[in-house]
Amino acid sequence: MRNMNNYAGKRALVVGMARSGVAAAKLLHKAGAKVVINDSKTADALGDALLPLKGLDIEYALGCPAGECLSGIEAMIISPGIPDTAGFVVKAKEMGVYVTGELEMAYQLSSGEMVAITGTNGKTTTVSLLGEIFHNAGRTTHVVGNIGYPYSAAGFDSADSDMFVCEVSSFQMETAETFHPRCGALLNITEDHLNRHGTMENYALTKMRMFQNMTAEDVAVFNADDPALAPYILMVKAQVMLFSRKQEVENGAFVRDGVIMTRFGGVETAVCPAEDVYIPGPHNLENALAAACMATACGVSADVIAHTLRTFTGVEHRIEFVRELEGVRYINDSKGTNVDSTIKAIQTMNRPTAIILGGYDKHCDFTPMVKEMLASDYIREAVLIGVTADQIERQCLENGYTALHRASTLQDAVDQCRALSADGWNVLLSPACASFDMFPDYEARGRIFKELVNNLK
């Protein structure tokens, strides 16, 4: 434990009873805090979500605003969905309450070694792949963070020899303070979450907080093929490794004559042919190179890395094959929650494709995606759903993409795509938007899409 005594005996308020909040309450209780849990929902509305806390000496303040629960509170832990500019957060800080996020708190109260990955796209695939590499190398490994498994849950019983592979979002870094990965990677930066961060510079600098405590003993990994990252590489104190699928790099991972190579500490090693990487697409080659950098920096052998690259089949909701029916392949890319992510999905299509687009508005410009649709030989039809349907339609028409259809529900969109497609086609759900207008999260959207597809007769 790094800071066990920070919370012992203190009255700590946990705000937000989703998975990370419930896990945070359990970990704080174990650390000896006097825990109070809060959510705007009542206990009845939260239902089974609170079962992990049953029998623990925890105070419930449910069905009321967090701002009404601050009396006598010494520490407050907020979920990533709560911005640090929220009124009750500002009020708590003014009262002298220590405010932090679940990820930072979990890091403080956990043992073990930790590596972390951030970026706009590719995080979940890369942390899952890297976790599998460490697992295959014989380490007790926990893949945690923004991926949906809270750091607090894994940290509850962690040992010094455990490895944590942490997916980090910009939201989680707003409250980062002591968070210190041994090795950290920034995969890319493209427009996203501007409804929260305001500007691209604020968004990028928030992500860079992940590196703020790293020293020359640590390793920072960056994508050499993303020019937007160049100014940020200069900000880190750690040793830098780069990865590139387009050029050789002095220190890091690259492709030479079709073979993935690593170079670290003056030692160059051939890993495996790039075509052996099981998960498809140029973006997944980048993810594989990033994972190879980090694993090499942490002392994993090239044969373990190669075996994992050949056998890792990808993550749910990311270019995930669902089924083939009447010669049409249905693909779930519900994790395509921003423009750049959907562009990468479009680039992996190699058959005529009907794509489902649209969802919650994150104030993004869809023009780059429309241009990719026009440049592709395969995006033949687009079915639009959700709050952003009007905006996507307008930007499609402005750029000359006219094969557009409107759907009122995801069921309607699937039915329309089935009617529009034929033997040898794909139907791709890759919305380029968050899901909150119609679904609780992208996972729920993806699961419902798979159910609808699997129910087609």
Do the domains spanning 110-311 and 320-454 agree at the CATH topology level? no
Fold (topology level) of 8-102: Rossmann fold (3.40.50)
Q: What is the pLDDT of residues 117-137, one digit of tens each?
A: 999 888 999 999 999 999 999
- Please report the pLDDT score of residue 2 as a whole number: 62
Q: Which residues contact 121 (CB under 8 A, 6 or more apart)?
A: 187, 188, 190, 283, 338, 340, 341, 344
- Please report the pLDDT score of residue 196 as a whole number: 55
- Please report the pLDDT score of residue 3 as a whole number: 59
- Please report the pLDDT score of residue 146 as a whole number: 84
Over range 58-64, report the average pLDDT. 96
CA distances from 334 to 331, 356, 410, 431 (A): 9, 10, 12, 7
Q: What is the pLDDT of residues 285-301, one digit of tens each?
A: 999 999 999 999 999 99
Q: Which CATH superfamily is domain 320-454 in?
A: Mur ligase, C-terminal domain (3.90.190.20)
Q: Which residues contact 111 (CB under 8 A, 6 or more apart)?
A: 1, 2, 155, 158, 159, 160, 162
Q: Which CATH superfamily is domain 110-311 in?
A: Mur-like, catalytic domain (3.40.1190.10)
Worst-scoring range by mean pLDDT, 145-149, 178-182, 376-380?
A: 145-149
Per-residue pLDDT at 1 exceeds 80: no
Over range 363-368, report the average pLDDT. 92
pTM value? Answer: 0.83
Higher pLDDT, 236 or 196: 236
* Tokens linked to 261: 């190579």
Closest CA to 352 of 334, 321, 327: 327
- Where residue 203 falls among pLDDT bands split at 50, 70, 90? confident
Residue 294 one-letter amino acid: M
DSSP 51: G
With a pLDDT cut of 70, the percent of the chain lying above it is 97
- Where residue 195 falls among pLDDT bands split at 50, 70, 90? low
Residue 198 one-letter amino acid: G
Closest CA to 335 of 185, 146, 124: 124
CB 153 within 8 A of CB 182: no
Per-residue pLDDT at 193 exceeds 90: no
Strand (E) positions, 246-400?
Answer: 252-256, 259-264, 267-273, 320-325, 328-332, 353-357, 379-384
Per-residue pLDDT at 108 exceeds 90: yes
Q: What is the pLDDT of residues 304-359, one digit of tens each?
A: 999 999 999 988 898 999 999 999 999 999 999 999 899 989 999 999 999 999 99
Per-residue pLDDT at 239 exceeds 60: yes
φ and ψ of 312, to 5 deg:
-75, 125
Per-residue pLDDT at 79 exceeds 70: yes
Q: What is the pLDDT of residues 410-444, one digit of tens each?
A: 999 999 999 999 999 999 999 999 998 899 999 99
- Please report the pLDDT score of residue 315 as a whole number: 86
- For all residues of the chain together, what is the average pLDDT? 94
- Where residue 82 falls among pLDDT bands split at 50, 70, 90? confident
Domain locations in the chain? 8-102, 110-311, 320-454
DSSP 49: G
